[in-house]
Amino acid sequence: MQGRIFWRYFKRNRLAVGGLVTIVIIFLVAGLASLLAPDDPGRTNVSLKLASPSLQNYLGTDQLGRDVFSRMLYGSRVSLSVGFVAVAISILIGVLVGAVAGYYSGWVDSLLMRFVDIMLCFPSFFLILTVVALWGPSLFKVMVVIGITSWMGTSRFVRAEFLSLRGRDFTQAAKALGVPDRRIIFRHILPNALAPVFVTATLDVATAILLEAGLSFLGFGVQPPAPSWGNILTEGRTYIFDAWWLTVFPGLAILMTVLAFNLLGEGLRDALDPRLRGRR
């Protein structure tokens, strides 16, 4: 029943539905990259370097003659992997911290929230740059560092939900029956506190993809010859006036992906919050 109510309100938001369709298409393209790519993304052909888009090379070639379309397809896997793995780490940490702080409150809440405040004082992007610069760039490190520097917002949302739900009748009844705290937190309260987490996670995926693209653009992210949208942009900036396709197409891919996740997140927020349903 709740699922039907959610879908009825969600599908009224055409922009959110469009974002969902776009994300599904991007996932299909990433999953089928090995079948859709007309060439090996790492294969060089100097005789075709900086060739403009054509029927042979749909999105042109780069300075080494590599097919940009093939590199874009494989790069989508990198961007989506970074987005979802980083957000999974972020959600895991944020939910644990927020749940413990909201359920136990008191000095535990004060201690954890002060730690959250300290983490929020550090500019995330520069903290990520520092960590990657010290330990070296790699795809795994980028995912982990983005995840462990972006959980603070989730923890606050979860804490607020737990503070509201811990006084409800079903929670008090579970305590009276002697149900262990761990079971109350994860079986009784947490499922009722996940709605804002889904919205936050959707928006955080877009942020993580942007961070990865920014890191790769600066040379601290995914390292060549492995393709990512960010390092394709980096390689294209040198030839921005001679080979516009090296910056335009990866830039559009990042724009469309981030916009789709943001639209989906806004649609989820409106459909899950009863106070916002009447606006549509």
The residue extents of the domains of the chain are: 76-263
3-state SS, residue 67: strand
Residue 226 structure tokens: 């492995």
Quick: pLDDT tens for 33-79: 888 888 888 888 888 888 888 888 888 888 888 999 999 999 888 88
Residue range 76-263 forms a domain whose CATH class is: mainly alpha
3-state SS, residue 196: helix
The DSSP string of 75-120 is HHHHHHHHHHHHHHHHHHHHHHHHHHHHHH-HHHHHHHHHHHHHHH
The predicted model scores a pTM of 0.84
Quick: pLDDT tens for 182-239: 888 888 888 878 777 888 888 888 888 888 888 877 777 777 778 888 888 888 888 8
